[in-house]
Structure 1
Amino acid sequence: MATQEAVAHDLKTLTGRLHQAREETDALFRIVRPEAVYDRPIPERHRIIFYHGHLEAFDWNLLSGPCGLVSTQPELDRLFAFGIDPIDGQLPADTPRDWPQPEQVEAYKQRVRTALDGALEQVPNPELLLNVAIEHRLMHAETLAYMFHQMPFERKVQRTVRRILDAGAWTPAVANVPAGPATLGLRRDGGVFGWCNEFEEQTVPVPAFRIDRYKVSNGQFLQFLEAGGYDNRALWSDADWAWKAEHGIAQPAFWVARGGEWCYRSMFDELPLPPNWPVYVSHAEASAYARWQGKRLPTEPEWQRAAEGSAVRHNEPPRDVWDPSPVNTGSEQVAGLFGNGWEWTSTQFAPLPGFRAYPFYPGYSSDFFDGQHYVLKGGSVRTAASMLRGSFRNWFQPRYQYVYAGFRCVGLED
């Protein structure tokens, strides 16, 4: 049984991490100019003002009960409670008038933080609940980053940028991964934090396979585009082709055509398309490219098997890094699996055996076990270090282009 001193130390560490996470999201919101707070940078997502309130409402709805607190603004607790995940093109139709004024949201934020900070010692299970609050906020820090990425530059406050454009010559290569076990998830009795979909640990056999040593780069994907890949009906599923046709999808969302040349839209500027950076695309686009190559996307177990022994970043990303590194950064047999862009898999998001939803957040995973979301692994340059763990399972709809997500391919069986 933990001593009082140990519990107090854990609580101090966790509250310190929570305050750091708040600083991270506060810094991100300062990128947005005041006149842009009601913008909706991505059609499928809420307006920016929602996220100002959502992070605090989530913490309040999660922690206020265990802390013995009573709400003074239940209408805002409800308004900011849930994000959206539109299916079948059902986009939000709200207007700026449907949301409170920024000063109201700021006052709500401060009240929530003050009330919670004065009562966190009352939380009966701080290791679990505070880790949920911290990682939820850090997930949204990455969401905010890729949302703000899509905003016009003049709607943002410029920041210093640090980037690596070239890491030397490289040649596409294939890694042979021998047959063996892949371990998915975590042991529930392992004493480490995980989200509900990371439990229970499962070991599965994986046959030998061949996987790209490097992520698919912008330069490689450009060859697909120039070969007519977006117009080749045979490369796309029926649903993906219909989506592409309806929305006029003809290039990655991060690419911009300028004077007959392709440019890359970074957070604060445009630059000539970096051919060695990983391409960011939807699952639909990644799948079409893989078919064009006569390959396929890896399954989650294959990705996990390829990641065995790979280096995982343990420090937080510098705040002035917004772009990936070249795909050939790293010396592992399968390079760049963690922290240089999420990687799509062909595995639909579903529970591992022994899954149990957290009773305080029952819909976190189970609402998306619908056959319409795919697992991503690995993390991006904007993913917090705590979530760069092999067991972490991200998921998105297959026709969502805006995530910092790339892919690598697996060769078809002989």
Structure 2
Amino acid sequence: MATHGAVAHDYQTLIGRLHQAREETDALFQIVQPEAIYDRPIPERHRIVFYRGHLEAFDWNLLSGPCGLTSTQPLLDRLFAFGIDPIDGQLPSDTPRDWPRLEQVEDYRNRVRGALDGVLGKVSNPELLLNVAIEHRLMHAETLAYMFHQMPFERKTRRAVRRVLDAGPWTPASVRVPSGPATLGLRRESDVFGWCNEFEEQTIQVPAFSIDRYKVSNGQFLQFLEEGGYDNRALWTDEDWAWKLQHGIAHPAFWANRDGRWVYRSMFDELALPVDWPVYVSHAEASAYARWQCKRLPTEAEWHRAAEAPAVHHNDPPRDVWDPSPVQSRGSSAYGVDGLFANGWEWTSTQFAPLPGFRSFPFYPGYSADFFDGQHYVLKGGSVRTAACMLRGSFRNWFQPRYQYVYAGFRCVSVED
């Protein structure tokens, strides 16, 4: 019987995937100019140098015990062990001097890789642990991308960029989804890898509802902004309004105003606001827009119901694609809902909580359980920088509602009597 959904992959295939994931994160770090490695692009997150060590520390702390290895650098194992969840009002206060020199970090990385690569064949339960190591690293590949997105252009080394600005005309529309079952999560006996919060499978009966056919676009959100949405107190909860005032939030984090003209800050340049691209915003901003439309965000179960479709095979994101595609340029679900996967995560109104039958990974008990606190919301679907292996319907992402930096958009729903 499978344990926590461990998939029976060929061992050598998993080792190959781990090396490919390392190549992906190594390539991302090359974007950062050497003098910027101690920068903190997002106030709530660690400095970049932390992540240079964290990816190896995670692999070491996960795999060294099962491989029978003893640490030679326990201080660095602990220093790089845990990231930061963005907690409102509690920003990190460390300085660059608090971190090891980059040469020490690089030496740590190389030592960890060399030690693990020599003994990975000895690890017990290799399918589960290697899948955890691979997907953890690929999650951080996306995290690094949106972190680097916030850096000044001159602090980065430009890479090739491929983007789609226009996919033809489209008209905002709603799609009626009939009442019926929605299946969340995975069955443990399915032999499909999943994180602990993806188990156990649950079927929910969902009443009929209408949902936006397309994600909300930059152009639609611009209308909300221009009609005073950020200044309309009635559209915001008390907590969201206080956050907005405290931090001067007046537009999406990926936008900038240049002499009265809105531009989109892509990874390496600015361009006139692409009105057909999905808008990237926080849960707070998405919720305010939905109220402005006299609608709301979908529940996790409604999102699953709307996404019902035959299985779709996704490819890993090309390294030269950093931006979303126009909202009308992705495939449809069985109900005609477009762009549900790989073009921006989608906020839901569902607080992150365990599914029935949840059991923590014994080797990583805090991965999910530490965030079942009523302060995080589920996101579904994936972005253009999400690895293909995580573009599965059961995958559950989660963030706090006032975090603006994720490649996350949304669509609205309404329920008619």
2:10 partner SS: helix
Contact 1:215 1:407 in 2 (8 A): yes
> How far did residue 192 of structure 1 move?
0.8
> How far did residue 330 of structure 1 move?
2.7
CA distance in 2, matches of 1:316, 1:331: 16
Counterparts in 2 of 1:321 and 1:163: CA distance versus 1, 3 Å: same
1:189 partner SS: helix
2:183 partner SS: strand
Taking the TM superposition and a 5 Å limit, the aligned residue runs for 1:285-296 are 285-296=285-296
> How far did residue 89 of structure 1 move?
1.1
2:228 is aligned with 1:224: no
Question: Which letter maps to 2:158?
Answer: Q
Counterparts in 2 of 1:84 and 1:255: CA distance versus 1, 3 Å: same
Count of residue correspondences: 410
> How far did residue 88 of structure 1 move?
2.9
C-alpha RMSD over aligned residues: 1.4
> How far did residue 259 of structure 1 move?
1.5
Question: Which letter maps to 2:360?
Answer: A
Contact 2:184 2:201 in 1 (8 A): yes
Q: Tell me the equivalent position of 1:164.
A: 164
2:352 is aligned with 1:340: no
Counterparts in 2 of 1:238 and 1:155: CA distance versus 1, 3 Å: same
2:389 is aligned with 1:410: no
CA distance in 2, matches of 1:313, 1:23: 23
CA distance in 2, matches of 1:405, 1:32: 23
Deviations 1:200-234 (A, max 9, x none): 00001001100000000000000000000000000
2:118 is aligned with 1:115: no
Contact 1:311 1:338 in 2 (8 A): no
> How far did residue 240 of structure 1 move?
0.1
Taking the TM superposition and a 5 Å limit, the aligned residue runs for 1:301-320 are 301-309=301-309, 312-320=312-320
CA distance in 1, matches of 2:68, 2:10: 20
Q: Tell me the equivalent position of 2:375.
A: 372
Contact 1:255 1:263 in 2 (8 A): yes
Q: Tell me the equivalent position of 1:178.
A: 178
1:355 corresponds, among 355, 358, 365, to 358
CA distance in 1, matches of 2:74, 2:94: 21
2:188 partner SS: coil
1:290 partner SS: helix
2:18 partner SS: helix
CA distance in 2, matches of 1:153, 1:204: 46
1:85 partner SS: coil
Question: Which letter maps to 1:185?
Answer: G
Q: Tell me the equivalent position of 1:54.
A: 54
Taking the TM superposition and a 5 Å limit, the aligned residue runs for 1:16-27 are 16-27=16-27
Question: Which letter maps to 1:340?
Answer: N
Contact 2:198 2:395 in 1 (8 A): yes
> How far did residue 413 of structure 1 move?
3.3
CA distance in 2, matches of 1:303, 1:159: 35
2:65 partner SS: helix
Question: Which letter maps to 1:386?
Answer: C
Q: Tell me the equivalent position of 1:398.
A: 401
Contact 1:313 1:338 in 2 (8 A): no
Give the TM-score, by structure 1 length. 0.97
The unaligned stretches of length 5 or more in structure 2 are none
CA distance in 1, matches of 2:398, 2:188: 21
Question: Which letter maps to 2:380?
Answer: K
CA distance in 1, matches of 2:130, 2:414: 42
1:375 partner SS: strand
2:181 partner SS: strand
Q: Tell me the equivalent position of 1:263.
A: 263
CA distance in 2, matches of 1:131, 1:164: 32
Counterparts in 2 of 1:21 and 1:296: CA distance versus 1, 3 Å: same
Q: Tell me the equivalent position of 1:274.
A: 274
Deviations 1:144-180 (A, max 9, x none): 0000000000000000100000100000011110111
> How far did residue 10 of structure 1 move?
1.5
1:66 partner SS: coil
> How far did residue 85 of structure 1 move?
1.0
CA distance in 2, matches of 1:386, 1:284: 29
2:234 is aligned with 1:234: yes
Counterparts in 2 of 1:313 and 1:237: CA distance versus 1, 3 Å: farther
Deviations 1:124-144 (A, max 9, x none): 111100000000000000000
The percentage of counterpart residues that share the same residue type is: 83
Q: Tell me the equivalent position of 2:327.
A: 327
2:262 partner SS: strand
